[in-house]
Amino acid sequence: MKLVLKNGKSIASITTLSLLISSILILLFSFCYNFLKTYIIKNSSSGHISSLQFIIYVALVVSVELSFIYAYSAITRASGIAATLATATSYTDTAKLSSQHLFSIVKTKWRSPFPFMRRRDNYFLCGGSHSYSWRYLMHLLLFAAVGVAILLVRSNPNPLTITIMSLVAVAFFVSQLYTSVAWTLSAVIPVVEDGCEEEALEKSEKLVQGQRLHGFMLNLFIYLLAFIVVFSFWKIVGDKGSLNLMVYGLFIVNCISLLWILMSVVYTMYYFQCMEYHGQTIHPLGINFHYTRLPS
């Protein structure tokens, strides 16, 4: 908490800017999407649109959706990097970063709006670790089991099938919280260290050894907090139909942005906690942090 208060102004600025840009983005997306959708429906019902024109406009709608996903992912990723840097400088007693310096570092560290996909592919192509591969496989099996349980309940709803689905869903949720500790930590490592993008997941697996339960509890707290916020919003606003789709969209987008910034701050502190646990010395060396490589 002291770290957040120490650099609270930077974190608040990053959060405000992220929410502002995300809100503008969802408003632009909603306007373009509704305009194209209305045009297609109007001309299709009146018969003034050919099959080729229909395909073109559908392609435009899909392009707008994909553009929004890419732009929003880029904004969320950049805000997470900025929050990580602000927290790291506070933890290491590094001189406070100016806004211009912080922006230049974010541009340097930002490589892709979907960093997890590249790290996952490289990790499993290189073999990964046996323990993580096993946990990842179990996670996929539980995910498949949830799908089967849902189909079972829909086809034959009774207390037994509902109980089975509930137990499988809880097991999947716990597995997700447990396996995502190293996964989320791997987003912090490339930001605070240089030249370790390809090894981030492997190193995070080593760092969380002996500290995985702490990471699990962090995930549990954050997700419970998110659930309380979403549930409270739903109880207050309620289901008021398509007229409030804009409100729902703004809420969901901003919630995801806030959640990712919170995860970045918390996991940056968790990263330094893991480093101290493994006996790694933390030096205030400016923005390029250097540590002794963990033994294999």
Q: List pLDDT tens digits, range 99-152.
A: 666 777 777 776 655 555 555 544 444 444 545 555 556 656 766 776 776 777
Contacting residues for 290 by C-beta, under 8 A, at least 6 apart: 193, 194, 283
Do the domain assignments include residue 143?
yes
Average predicted confidence (pLDDT) for the chain: 75
Do the domain assignments include residue 206?
no
Which band of pLDDT confidence, cut at 50, 70 and 90, is reported for residue 289? very low
pLDDT for residue 294 is more than 60: no
For 244-271, the pLDDT digits (tens) are: 667 788 888 899 999 999 999 999 889 9
Phi–psi pair at 176, nearest 5 degrees: -65, -45
Cα–Cα distance between 295 and 16 in angstroms, integer? 40
Which residue stretches of 47-158 are H helix?
A: 51-91, 99-109, 115-125, 130-155
For 33-88, the pLDDT digits (tens) are: 778 777 777 776 666 667 777 787 778 888 888 888 888 888 888 898 888 888 88
142 vs 293 pLDDT, higher one: 142
Do the domain assignments include residue 159?
yes
Residue whose pair of structure tokens reads 């999407």 in the numeric block: 33
Domain count, the chain: 1
92 vs 176 pLDDT, higher one: 176
What residues are paired with 181 via a beta bridge? none
Do the domain assignments include residue 223?
no
Task: Say what the pLDDT of residue 251 is.
Answer: 86
Do the domain assignments include residue 128?
yes
Q: By residue range, what is the domain housing residue 167? A: 114-183
State the average pLDDT over residues 279-291.
55
State the average pLDDT over residues 176-181.
84
Task: Say what the pLDDT of residue 217 is.
Answer: 93
Answer for the pair 230, 253: CB distance below 8 angstroms, yes or no: no
Total Cβ atoms within 10 A of residue 228: 10
Task: Say what the pLDDT of residue 292 is.
Answer: 45
Answer for the pair 275, 291: CB distance below 8 angstroms, yes or no: yes
Which band of pLDDT confidence, cut at 50, 70 and 90, is reported for residue 216? very high
Task: Say what the pLDDT of residue 84 is.
Answer: 87
Task: Say what the pLDDT of residue 20 is.
Answer: 93
Task: Say what the pLDDT of residue 196 is.
Answer: 58
State the average pLDDT over residues 233-246.
68
Contacting residues for 138 by C-beta, under 8 A, at least 6 apart: 175
